[in-house]
Amino acid sequence: MNGYGESTVIERILRSMRTVAVVGASDRPDRASHAVATYLQHAGFRVLAVNPKLSGELFGNPVHAALEDIQEPIDVVDVFRRPEDVPPVVESAIKVGAKAVWLQLGITNPEAESRARDAGLAVVSNRCLKVEHARLLP
């Protein structure tokens, strides 16, 4: 947690980071990634969808196959992938210069989290970005 308690990291992310790349974004409204992304967009965040199985637009922006395809700075990489799929996402987040990696509810990968922290990224795991935003910044 880069020397900060988790609640401090969460608050810092929510107050200062505005561009969120949602890895595992879905075009299906019944999926958690879609609900969270829609909420974040309505809360004023710029939401960029990352899903190699989708094309076109989602949340008003082009869908990207990978983080490396995004041609603008990314603040937070919000991950909706299985724990075993997290390490390559973290490596991509480091490569593109993201400031934070957020692993959604039920997602943890201690090795990948440690790698992200060692690279200077803020890390939150097993928490919902939407829930934390609603709790801290209603």
Q: What is the pLDDT of residues 116-128, one digit of tens each?
A: 999 999 999 999 9
Examine residue 47 and state whether it is found in any structural domain, yes or no: yes
At 117, the amino acid letter reads: R
Examine residue 45 and state whether it is found in any structural domain, yes or no: yes
pTM listed for this prediction: 0.94
Number of domains comprising the chain: 1
Interatomic CA distance for residues 40 and 56, integer angstroms: 20
CATH of the domain at 43: 3.40.50.720
Query: What confidence tens digit (pLDDT) does each residue in 32-83 have?
Result: 999 999 999 999 999 999 999 999 999 999 999 999 999 999 999 999 999 9
Q: Residue 120 is part of which domain span?
A: 6-136
Examine residue 1 and state whether it is found in any structural domain, yes or no: no
